[in-house]
Amino acid sequence: MYSDKVMDHFTNPRNVGEIDKADGVGEVGNASCGDIMKIFLKVDDKGVIEDVKFKTFGCGAAIATSSMVTEMAIGKTLAEAEELTNEAVAEALDGLPSQKMHCSNLAADALHAAIKNYRETHNL
């Protein structure tokens, strides 16, 4: 069902956890849907994403996309990270089963929510 890349990120998820005193935190989904993704950001003074961590409640696709989006976002400017789409995350994982595309593929949305939170809390 899942690509090798999805299984790799599901089995060995990158950047799991929380960032203490994170610069931005974003959460999407809810438990009743079976998916919650929470993203924590550390942003340097040049507006570059220094670190990203995630916590996810969800299926294999939800965990793998969360892991992938953290890898994709680290080192990017906020503007660049805002360009990341759910589709691009899925593509980086060599695709997701069709039934997962709209349901468990929310990692970029979680990242964007964290960036929005960062901008709001820093009055940017």
Rule CB under 8 A: say whether 98 interacts with other proteins: no
Rule CB under 8 A: say whether 74 interacts with other proteins: no
Among 60, 78, 89, 111, binds other proteins (CB under 8 A): 60
User: Is the CB of 48 or the CB of 71 nearer to other proteins?
Assistant: 71
Rule CB under 8 A: say whether 23 interacts with other proteins: no
User: Is the CB of 16 or the CB of 92 nearer to other proteins?
Assistant: 16
Sign of CA dihedral 109, 110, 112, 117: positive
- DSSP codes of every residue in 9-47: HHHS-SSBS--TT-SEEEEEEEGGGTEEEEEEEEE-TTS
Which of 11, 33, 85, 124 is labelled catalytic?
33
Euclidean distance between CA atoms 1 and 98, whole angstroms: 10
Helix (H) or strand (E) holding 80: helix 78-83
Least separation, in Å, of the C-beta of 6 and other proteins? 10
| Sole window of 50-58, 74-82, 88-96, 114-122 interacting with other proteins (rule: CB under 8 A) | 50-58
Rule CB under 8 A: say whether 24 interacts with other proteins: no
> CB of 74 within 8 A of CB of 44?
no
Rule CB under 8 A: say whether 71 interacts with other proteins: no
Q: Number of C-alpha atoms within 13 angstroms, CB side, residue 96?
A: 27
Question: So which residues are the catalytic ones?
Answer: 33, 103
